[in-house]
Amino acid sequence: MLFKLPKKFVRSAVMALGLCALSVGAAGQASANTKIVLKAGHASSTTSTGHHAFEFLGKELAEKTNGQITIQVFPSAQLGSERELIESIQLGNVDMAFVSSAVLGNFNKEFFALDIPFMFKDRDSVYRVLDGQIGQGLLDSLNKVGIKAVGYWENGFRQLTNNKKVIRSPKDLEGMKMRTMENEVHIAAWKAEGANPAPLAFGELFTALQQGTFDAQEGPINLFYDMKFHEVQKHISMTNHVYSPWPVMINPDVYNRFSDEQKVIFNDAMKKTTEYQRELAKKADDNAVANMPNVTITKLTPEELEAFSSKMGPIHELVKKKVGAKIVDSIIAEVND
Ligand code: EAX
């Protein structure tokens, strides 16, 4: 027996739909009474700092628009892997998402410039680049591939982890099967370090580590803890080899349908959320370290770090060939400023 929806319900649903459809203004902008539910996806868990940031942004937008704009968050790659999320933003199947810049390099090669290992020294040098002209230029460069990027949340400095032994040198890493992000610069870099690297989507990583498909991987400590990788990896070497930002994206048509007032509210809310998320990320790393007593966390000496970074010359050349020396040199200049 088919469930018969009460007429009143059907009518109001059609009305609401009608309202939505009807009230997109001349400039394609939503009218004052259009309710907008932004579908937002990401590949990390519901306890990640990125997920909390989407929730915070959702509250800010709902509050400042009297509930007109809200966000529905889909974690854990429910709406697809990071690569698929980027494609869905381009196609308009997903409204918002954050992914690691490393994956974005496949859609806009200029982002490879951020993936040169051992380039960033600390968060200050990172934010000088990301929040400055270079970072903004990279965000704007996504317009040409149908993506509006609205800021950088922090995934974090990445560390080398494995389940075999304490790694203090490239020699210790030799031949280890290692998972990397879907990024040819990362694959080349870890090959140069002596590992046996292969890319894999983030959502499949825990199982692959559990099944021994990989001995090693690399990523931010807060995400390592968040995704329970400490159940399948026993050693962390503090390499701080790459800083991973999470560029935040929105479908350009969705953004352009905001009224002028809504655009101002959205931009302000994004700024506030980014400050909130970066503070969370800072604390999350420390919290993770404090909560993984069974994991050996090895701090490397400057000489040991040098042994890794000294192998990155060819990677600098590889990236310069791909994106041009100008952006690479300007990032290094900004970092050392
Ligand atoms: O969102 O794939 C990874 O290791 C990244 O850290 C991922 O982008 C998390």
CA 136/CA 65 separation, integer angstroms: 27
Indicate if ligand 1 lies below 6 Å from the C-beta of 223.
Answer: yes
CA 264/CA 325 separation, integer angstroms: 36
Q: What is the DSSP letter of 295?
A: S
Q: What is the pLDDT of residue 154?
A: 98
Going residue by residue through the chain, which has 337 residues, state the pLDDT in tens, using 9 for 90 and above: 444 555 555 545 544 544 444 444 555 566 667 899 999 999 999 999 999 999 999 999 999 999 999 999 999 999 999 999 999 999 999 999 999 999 999 999 999 999 999 999 999 999 999 999 999 999 999 999 999 999 999 999 999 999 999 999 999 999 999 999 999 999 999 999 999 999 999 999 999 999 999 999 999 999 999 999 999 999 999 999 999 999 999 999 999 999 999 999 999 999 999 999 999 999 999 999 999 999 999 999 999 999 999 999 999 999 999 999 999 999 999 999 8
Cβ-in-10-Å burial (0-12, 13-18, 19+) of 283 comes to exposed
Q: Whose CA is nearest to atom 8 of ligand 1?
A: 100
Inter-residue contact 167 to 175 (CB < 8 Å):
no
Indicate if ligand 1 lies below 6 Å from the C-beta of 285.
Answer: no
> Which amino acid belongs to residue 97?
A
Half-sphere exposure of 316 (CA within 13 A, CB side): 13
Inter-residue contact 187 to 170 (CB < 8 Å):
no
Cβ-in-10-Å burial (0-12, 13-18, 19+) of 328 comes to buried
Ligand 1 mean position, distance from CA 17 (Å): 37
CA 60/CA 272 separation, integer angstroms: 9
Indicate if ligand 1 lies below 6 Å from the C-beta of 219.
Answer: yes
Query: Mapping DSSP to helix (H, G, I), strand (E, B) and coil, where does residue 38 land?
Result: strand
Ligand 1 mean position, distance from CA 274 (Å): 18
Query: Mapping DSSP to helix (H, G, I), strand (E, B) and coil, where does residue 297 land?
Result: strand
Q: Whose CA is nearest to atom 3 of ligand 1?
A: 202
Q: What is the pLDDT of residue 309?
A: 97
**Residue whose structure tokens are 């960033």:** 120
**Tens digits of residue pLDDT in 259-286:** 999 999 999 999 999 999 999 999 999 9
Q: What is the pLDDT of residue 34?
A: 84
HEC-encoded secondary structure of 85-141 = HHHHHHHCCCCEEECCHHHHCCCCHHHHHHHCCCCCCCHHHHHHHHCCHHHHHHHHH
Indicate if ligand 1 lies below 6 Å from the C-beta of 48.
Answer: no
**Continuous H helices in 291-324:** 302-309, 313-323
Ligand 1 mean position, distance from CA 100 (Å): 6
Return the percentage of the chain with pLDDT > 70, whole number. Answer: 91
Ligand 1 mean position, distance from CA 202 (Å): 6
Ligand 1 mean position, distance from CA 219 (Å): 7
Integer CA distances (angstroms), 119 to 67, 113, 122, in order: 43, 10, 10
DSSP string computed for 186-253: HHHHHHHTT-EEEE--GGGHHHHHHTTS-SEEEEEHHHHHHTTGGGT--EEEE----EEEEEEEE-HH
Cα 242-244-246 angle, rounded to 5 deg: 170
Indicate if ligand 1 lies below 6 Å from the C-beta of 312.
Answer: no
**Backbone φ and ψ of 150, nearest 5°:** -120, 15
Q: What is the pLDDT of residue 214?
A: 98
Indicate if ligand 1 lies below 6 Å from the C-beta of 44.
Answer: yes
Ligand 1 mean position, distance from CA 307 (Å): 25
Inter-residue contact 203 to 81 (CB < 8 Å):
yes
